[in-house]
Structures are given as structure tokens and as C-alpha cells.
Amino acid sequence: MKIEIKNVSKKFKDINALENVSMTLESGKIYGFVGHNGSGKTVLLKLICAFLEPSTGEILFDGVNVIKENSFPPSTRALIERPNFLSDLTGKENLELLARIQNKIGEKEIEETIEKVGLKQVENRLYYKYSLGMKQKLGIAQVLMENPDVLILDEPFNGLDEDSAKNIREILLKEKEQGKLIILATHIKEDMGLLCDEFYKFNDGIVTKEEKK
């Protein structure tokens, strides 16, 4: 998979959220989007997911502009901003509901993903009783469970304790080894030091590539 972001800008009325952003993202790598809150990271993630349309420029998935094709990015799953599920369903029931949209996976894959992210003991607990960390794990689970080619995670370690964060880092590195294209956004650069192959710094809509130290 190759995602090409070509001269993309995004304006909201008189606010320039992104200005002339270009980058190429490829399978088998983890990319870090680093910047303070409001710097444009989440806007670009939403553009890549086709939740928003660029004001100028284009985003291509293996050469295809999905917005012009009136389609969705292929084999892409994302957790953007805070996880949000149905409060009166259990964690497992929420994942089952999402899985029924495309019917690509069954009970086995859902159970394996719940185990992988560390939610097995609370899979039958109602979502409104979940802690912040549990909600975050469930959000990551819905990204992983259908084995997509592109994984997009906004502030993935938010609310996770040290052991859980370590587990998620290990999962993401294994996904990279399997050839996935992974995008991680954070306002804390240290979170990404062990994971990312390339960094992009966001500063009030201006995006620059940074050398990995």
C-alpha cells in the first residue's frame, strides 16, 4: 500500500488548518505525526480517512483518489480522538456489532483481538463501566480486529498504564513486521521514539519531516 499526500491544504472559513502538505507513506513502516494539540495532526488523519475533503491537493491510495471515486480508503481502520462506543453494550458486543458491518471476521478473530489487547477479563462488562484505559484498548481492538493494511491511531497511549502501553507497542511492531502501514499521532514525541521509522512535525498547519535521532 502507498498513500501519496500531494500539496494538500485544508481551510475552515478563514483558518488554515493545513498548508501545502506533501508526503508519501508506504507499507512496512510506522510514521509518527508529532505536534501540540490543534497543530493539524487530527485534521490530516481525517483527510486520509476521507472524513474530510481537502481544500486543495489530493490524497491517493495506490494511485486512486477515493474522494473523487466516491469511495472509502481501502483496508483502512482508524481510532481518531476519543473512543466512542455504545454504553449499554459490553466491550465484546460493541466489537461484534462493528464486525457485522462487513462480515469479514467471526467470533474467533474478535476473541483473539480482545485477548491480544488485554481486555479478556472485562469483555463482558458494560462499556459505560470501562475505565479510560479500557476504552482506549477497545478502540485499538476495533482497529486491529479485521487485519487491515492501514492502521491509524490518534494518541494511542492515552490512559494506558506502563504495562499496557508496552503491550500495545509490541503489537504495533508485530503489525509492522507483517507489512502494515501504520500512522501514529501524538503531542508527546517521546512516545514514538521506539516505534516510528519517520517523523513529521506539525506546527500550526505547517508540516516538516524530521530526522530520526
φ and ψ of 39, to 5 deg: -85, -10
Exposed / middle / buried, residue 119 (Cβ in 10 Å: 0-12, 13-18, 19+): buried
- Are 172 and 182 in contact by the 8 Å Cβ rule? The answer is yes
Distances (CA, A) of 91 to 101, 154, 165, 166: 17, 20, 19, 22
The answer to whether 190 is a known catalytic residue is no
Q: Which of 146, 155, 190, 210 is catalytic?
A: 155
Q: Is 140 helix (H, G, I), strand (E, B) or coil?
A: helix
DSSP strand E in the chain: where?
Answer: 2-12, 15-26, 29-34, 56-61, 76-79, 150-154, 181-186, 198-203, 206-210
Annotated catalytic residues are 155
